[in-house]
Amino acid sequence: MSDNILSVIPADPHWQPAPEAADRTVAIVAELVPALADGFAEVEVSWHDAVAIVDCGANLERIGCPRCAGSVGIDWWNELLETRADDGLATLLAHVPCCGAELSIDTLEYEWPCGFARFEIAVWNPGRDWFTGEELTALADALGRPVRQVLAHI
Ligand SMILES: [Zn+2]
């Protein structure tokens, strides 16, 4: 049994919304995902003390470097996250293996998208595809900050 998870996170990995803004955004998610009303999908709202990875699971195909356009390597990235898991990703800075540049791993080019966040609205088995640009704008307006989406397959 596998699951699809469509997540909305603030574009800023460190930012958390006020509870009212979070509630407003969850209400809009509920409008955009009919499967929630039907009971086929489930929504899960998470507040993390430290920055957490919101990854796309089996949908991750490649990680590119924005500095040299090389490939960072999914194994390198997995190892990095494992090493840093204990300190709750206190820093996102890392020296990438392709060109040695020091970058925030939040700025790497993930195919499909991944993100880092301290707040997440995750819809399990939404029964729909990505949010459209217009829908993301509505979600960002409700949250009060720009948002990103991650579509995971696990
Ligand atoms: Zn590079």
- pLDDT tens for 125-148 read 999 999 999 999 999 999 999 999
Token pair for 55: 């990854």
With a cut of 80, say whether residue 44 has pLDDT above it: yes
Ligand 1 centroid from CA 62, angstroms = 13
Which residues on neighbouring strands pair with residue 4, listed in sequence order? Answer: 153
Question: What is the average pLDDT score of the chain?
Answer: 95
Distance between CA atoms of 80 and 101, rounded to whole angstroms? 15
Ligand 1 centroid from CA 144, angstroms = 33
Ligand 1 centroid from CA 99, angstroms = 4
The model's confidence at residue 30, banded by pLDDT at 50, 70 and 90, is: very high
pLDDT of residue 1: 76
Across 48-61, average pLDDT: 95
User: Domain ranges in the chain?
Assistant: 1-60+115-154, 61-111
Ligand 1 centroid from CA 75, angstroms = 15
Ligand 1 centroid from CA 48, angstroms = 30
Residue type, 55: D
- Fold of the domain built from segment(s) 1-60+115-154: Alpha-Beta Plaits (3.30.70)
pLDDT of residue 86: 74
Cis peptide upstream of residue 112 (ω within 30 degrees of 0) = yes
Ligand 1 centroid from CA 71, angstroms = 7
What percentage of the chain has pLDDT greater than the value 70?
A: 100
Residue located via tokens 């949010």? 131
With a cut of 80, say whether residue 91 has pLDDT above it: yes
Ligand 1 centroid from CA 30, angstroms = 40
With a cut of 80, say whether residue 98 has pLDDT above it: yes
- pLDDT tens for 55-74 read 999 999 999 999 999 999 99
Ligand 1 centroid from CA 103, angstroms = 9
Ligand 1 centroid from CA 51, angstroms = 23
Across 34-53, average pLDDT: 94
Token pair for 110: 């993930």
With a cut of 90, say whether residue 89 has pLDDT above it: no
3-state secondary structure the chain: CCCEEEEEEECCCCCCCCHHHHHHHHHHHHHHCHHHHHCCCEEEEEEEEEEEEECCECCCCEEECCCCCCECCHHHHHHHHHHHHHHCCCCCEEECCCCCCEEEHHHCEEECCCEEEEEEEEEECCCCCCCCHHHHHHHHHHHCCCEEEEEEEC
Distance between CA atoms of 117 and 10, rounded to whole angstroms? 7
pLDDT of residue 76: 96
Ligand 1 centroid from CA 70, angstroms = 5
